[in-house]
Amino acid sequence: MHPIPRSILLALAMGSGPALAAGFLDDSQANLALRNFYFNQDNREGRSGETEEWGQGLRLDYQSGFTQGTFGFGLDAIGLLGLRLDSGGRAGKPGQSRTPSALFPLEHDGSPRDEYSSLGLTAKVRYAASEARFGTLIPRLPVIKANDGRLLPQTFEGAQLTVREVEDLTLLAGRLRKAKGRSQSHRDDLSINGANSPRKAGDAVSAAPARHSDAFDFFGLDYQLTRQLQAQYYLGQLEDFYRQHFLGLNHAQGLPLGTLKTDLRYFHTRALGKNASRSGRAEGYTAAGYYGDGNDDSGRHRGEVDNRTWSALFTWSHGPHALSGGYQRLSGRSNFIQPNQGNGGDLYLITDRQLNSFARAGERTWLTQYSLDFAPWGLPGLSSSVAYLKGSEIRSERGRLKEWERDFTLAYVLQSGPAKGLGITWRNASLRSQASTDADQNRLFLTYSLPLL
């Protein structure tokens, strides 16, 4: 648990009873979210065969109000508990037809644990239209995005300042030091793909240990230029690994029939600290990507962060219909880079989907998606979507590779009755790739949220 500044705890302790109740307690909210999750994946030709698990997740969120005064103080808490209902036996055991997924932590013998839990506290201070938060954070920013696609969400430890003193302008800045994976109780230092696990002999950096960083700094601004147009700039850098610049534009345009939304994104990511030197990369501060066969100049840059990614996504919506089309292109030697602790994370890409992110060096991806809300046909709460993505030009030792993914989602939320708000979602995806293992995956969610305060 991230240490909370003593000054904030002291301010809360010294607050008078009526003043504390008027803001801190009276404005408090608490909510219990239940998530029942079944996961099944057929790895096709992979050695691990079928992965299958079933679990129950509980998430308790408490949000206090703020004490009265020029500076308002508050305290938030998030409690997470995952319970195993069924699993695929033991990871790495020969001859079995099922193996565990990444839904639960594993014991030393490769079997999943029966339960795991964590508690996170966040102190907060408010001044005018600005707010500082210290402790457990769940960032959803272009340069770092917490994952919530399994049983429990990924969380981070650090500090964040949000400033909204100027109309239509939001400024953010902060530092993250630790991350707790979606299937973990403990917190780890930060890392990236290519450095977050020990390398074996014969790898790009033979037998190098996993390398991590304890400082991810970020800064960003969101500016609403007009009612229809928003501009974004973000900077994120992971000490000893990389510095990343992000530019984004979001625009909505009314049409005679429907609305057209445009989402433009550009990332420029370069090496920083030890990753920027050959000696640092020799120690294991490396990124995943394609660096040639090592017999030319490209071999000198093996493991160096070097990536540019741009994308354009257009969505036309009219009534219950939404149709999207987009394109994304990567250039440079490395894959697209953002923090990843090795057990799953989200990327702020239009191609980050259920099974694949289409984020390998040189990859070019076309995508299309259709979404439908069934309310006009007398089925409120029922929705569905289907998406198809095709990637090509993946750089590798075997030449230029290709891959595709098809996703289907069907969701329903009860609109009335004693179980109003109960949701069920089925997500089905298929991946066929020359760069990774083919897979067919099903996820089934049963969710319910219960207000406590």
Quick one: tokens of 75? 């305290």
Total tally of structural domains belonging to the chain: 1
CA proximity to 14, closest of 400, 6, 420: 6
Q: Minimal CA–CA distance to 151: which of 401, 435, 416, 444?
A: 444
Q: Look-up: residue for tokens 């079928």?
A: 50
CB-based contacts of 109, cutoff 8 Å, min separation 6? 90
CA distances from 134 to 122, 143, 159, 389 (A): 5, 19, 4, 39
pTM: 0.90
Q: Which pLDDT does position 100 carry in this prediction?
A: 58
Q: Around Cβ 135, how many Cβ atoms within 10 Å?
A: 25
Which distant-in-sequence residues (6+ apart) come within 8 Å of 311 by Cβ?
Answer: 263, 264, 265, 266, 326, 327, 328, 329, 349, 350, 351
pLDDT mean for each 10 residues of the chain (453 residues): 57 57 83 97 74 94 94 96 80 51 78 91 96 97 93 95 97 96 87 76 59 94 97 98 98 97 99 94 92 66 95 98 98 93 79 96 98 97 98 93 98 95 98 94 97 92
Q: Which two tokens stand for residue 114?
A: 């029966």
Q: Which residues, other chains included, contact 211 with Cβ-Cβ below 8 Å and sequence gap of 6+?
A: 191, 195, 196, 240, 274, 283, 284, 285, 286
Residue 1, in any domain of the structure? no
> In whole angstroms, how large is the CA radius of gyration of the chain?
23
Please report whether residue 234 resides in a domain.
yes
Spatial separation of the C-alpha atoms in residues 426 and 409, rounded to whole Å: 6
Task: Answer yes or no: are the C-beta atoms of 338 and 143 closer than 8 Å.
Answer: yes
Q: Which of these, 359, 382, 358, lies nearest to 372 by C-alpha position?
A: 382
Q: Of 1, 103, 13, which is closest to residue 57 (Cα–Cα)?
A: 103
Given the structure tokens 């705890």, which residue do they identify? Answer: 9
Which pair of structure tokens corresponds to residue 47?
């050695």
Which structural domain range is residue 289 located in? 6-451
The reported pLDDT for the residue numbered 94 is 47
CA nearest to 104, candidates 92, 86, 121, 119:
86
Task: Judge contact between 189 and 212, C-beta under 8 A.
Answer: yes
> In this structure, is residue 174 part of a structural domain?
yes
Residue 70, Cβ neighbours under 10 Å: how many?
7
Residues facing 137 on adjacent strands: 156
Report yes or no on 314 lying in a domain.
yes
Alpha-carbon gap, residue 414 to 147, rounded angstroms: 26
Query: For residue 126, what are the CA distances in angstroms to 3, 95, 133, 206, 222?
Result: 19, 58, 9, 50, 20
Q: Which helix (H) or strand (E) holds 9?
A: helix 6-14
What size, in residues, is the chain?
Answer: 453
- Return the structure tokens found at 51: 């992965």
Helix/strand/coil percent split, the chain, to 5: 10, 50, 40
Of 380, 370, 365, nearest to 407 (Cα)?
Answer: 370
For the beta carbon of residue 236, count every other beta carbon within 10 angstroms.
26
The CATH number assigned to the domain holding 301 equals 2.40.160.10
Q: Which of 439, 431, 435 is nearest to 289 (CA)?
A: 435
Tell me if residue 17 falls in helix, strand or coil: helix
- What pLDDT, on the 0 to 100 scale, is given for residue 95? 46
